[in-house]
Amino acid sequence: MAEEDSDLITLVDEEGHDHQFSLVDMVELNEHRYALLMPIEDEEIGEDDEEEAYIFRLETDEKGTDTLVDIDDDEEFEQVRVAFEDEGDDDDEEDE
């Protein structure tokens, strides 16, 4: 479902369309790994629109292949979102 080339990832939607994403960051929380992805190109996004980032949980199958999985649990998603925000705040402080 996902192909990785460095920090570029191609995801295929339910209709079979490919979408290119850039791996922005990864975080580990509660013994799970999570990836923050940003779309590379999105024709639907206008100049004034904000791009949306997507968060996925990484799960490793029996063959050792990482797979991106939607986070269905609202509480888990919120914890991960906060973890990415906190990490971003830490990066901003280091830049100062």
Give me Rg for the CA atoms of the chain.
14
Torsion of CA 18, 19, 25, 28, to 10 degrees: -50
* Domain total in the chain: 1
pTM (two decimals): 0.74
Q: In the prediction, which pLDDT does 1 show?
A: 45
Summarize pLDDT for 33-73 with one digit per residue, the tens: 999 999 987 555 455 556 789 999 999 999 999 999 999 99
Please list, in sequence order, all residues whose beta carbon lies within 8 angstroms of the beta carbon of residue 61, skipping any fewer than 6 positions away.
67
Structural domain including 13 reads 2-95
Query: What's the mean per-residue pLDDT of the chain?
Result: 83
Judge contact between 60 and 72, C-beta under 8 A. no
Q: In the prediction, which pLDDT does 88 show?
A: 73
Residue 79: pLDDT band with limits 50, 70, 90: very high
Question: What are residue 57's DSSP bridge partners?
Answer: 34, 69
